Structure 1
Amino acid sequence: MPKFVIERDMPNVGNLTQEQLREAAQTSCNVLMNLGPQIQWIHSYVTDNKIFCIYQAPDEATIKQHAEQSGFPANKISRVKAIIDPATAEVS
């Protein structure tokens, strides 16, 4: 299934408490349960003013549907073309 990086502009999100982040995660998970198994949240990176989320979904439309239902912005959605890491540099 395709992976996507979702860039969410959320001013001062890096200042949220653990409880506020937990509530946001619960909101997201509730929407995911309603949308069904075709979309999965892998994890997210919280910075000062943005959240970068990694999702698996069949298409961009499903990502947008999640954003609309959860109330979280999806300012930029990019389909992952490849994953590299330090092991990619090794000669086999």
Structure 2
Amino acid sequence: MTFITRRFALLIAILLFTCYASIAQNTNVTTTSTTKKSTEMKTYLIEREIPGAGKLTPDQLKGISQKSCSVLTEMGPQIEWLQSYVTGDKIYCIYKAENADLIREHAKKGGFPANTIVEIGSVISPATAK
């Protein structure tokens, strides 16, 4: 029970951290490291199956976010958490990363699932229609 509670708390904390993050219309971003090597960051959608995710308390969500952020800090700038959405039994997260393996590593180190990882090719919105 404690393991599940910690997993839920970590995932929810991730969501709170991203309240100010947004997704760019163009999902391909180029970053430059101090060695002037260009690395393309891809955008990914991660589906995390967590029974009862929608019933997590604000404190549990905060704990999940804090855990995720500490793992991200440890991993460095090649992975970034943008935003997450909590539903009944799943959490959907948007990340930027050099590759999907970094997302799997983040999930493993954080102790939460990454059941499905899909690269996002394009983003559309009502603004796309204009």
Q: TM-score, normalised by structure 2?
A: 0.68
Letter paired with 2:99: D
Letter paired with 1:55: Y
C-alpha RMSD of matched pairs (Å): 0.5
Structure 1 residues not aligned, in runs of 5+:
none
Take 2:127 and 2:65, find their aligned partners in 1: how far apart are those partners? Answer: 31
Percent of residue pairs identical? 49
TM-superposition CA deviations, 1:54-75 (whole Å, max 9, x none) = 0000000000000100011000
Q: TM-score, normalised by structure 1?
A: 0.96
Structure-2 residue corresponding to 1:3: 43
Take 2:81 and 2:74, find their aligned partners in 1: how far apart are those partners? Answer: 13
Find 1:77's aligned residue among 106, 117, 120: 117
Q: How does 1:1-92 map to 2 (within 5 A)?
A: 1-90=41-130
Q: Give 4+ residue runs of structure 1 displaced > 2 Å after superposition.
A: none
Higher relative contact order (CA 8 A, sep 6+): 1
**Count of residues paired in the alignment:** 90
Letter paired with 2:45: V
What SS does the corresponding residue of 1:34 show, helix, strand or coil? helix
What SS does the corresponding residue of 1:2 show, helix, strand or coil? strand
Letter paired with 2:110: S
What SS does the corresponding residue of 2:88 show, helix, strand or coil? coil
Take 2:101 and 2:72, find their aligned partners in 1: how far apart are those partners? Answer: 14
Take 1:3 and 1:17, find their aligned partners in 2: how far apart are those partners? Answer: 28
